[in-house]
Amino acid sequence: MDTLSPPLLTPTLTYFADLSVQVDKPQEVGQTAHGLRRLIPILGGHASGVDWTARVLPGGADFQLVVNDRMAELDARYCLETDGGDLIYVQNRAIRTGPPELMARLVRGETVDPSQIYFRCSPQFETAAPALQWITERLFVGTGARHPDKVVMRFWVLE
């Protein structure tokens, strides 16, 4: 290691928000060349962080690819409307993995203990709100859990 270079910083995590996103029944495209393709409509929900709240607007979707019996790739896109009226576009990419029998239960819409599933995500945010520009300039990570009618997530900013 080069001892003349300044040391690199070790990132830390700072809590950003909790989200609860209500979802509709999956629309299954079916088995494609890449895996089982599904689209999960987003019906609404809410978000809250330190000193702010927002609602999840209906109309977004989670575009899913069930790659194999152990893993799904997720790409959710939706908008938040803050309590101050500002809109935030969210694109949240994730992977969800677990034992085949538990992943099959999730695909069927059944309840699965979230501690048995690895669900990690990397949300990105875009907004025109001047006071919120900082969220477009940071990286975020999160964890999630799928329930039959909703997805709950917790996001942290990577400092």
| Token digits of residue 35 | 């895996």
- 39: pLDDT strictly greater than 80: yes
The dihedral sign for the CA sequence 95, 99, 105, 107: positive
Cβ-Cβ contacts under 8 Å for 113 (sequence gap 6 or more): none
Residue type, 51: D
pLDDT band at 108 (very low <50, low <70, confident <90, very high): confident
Domain edges within the chain: 13-158
Q: What span, in angstroms and rounded, lies between the C-alpha atoms of 91 and 125? A: 7
Any alpha helices (H) in 11-130, and if so which ranges?
A: 100-107
Mean pLDDT of 93-111: 93
- Architecture of domain 13-158 in CATH? Beta Barrel (2.40)
pLDDT band at 6 (very low <50, low <70, confident <90, very high): confident
- 1: pLDDT strictly greater than 70: no
| Token digits of residue 20 | 């609860």
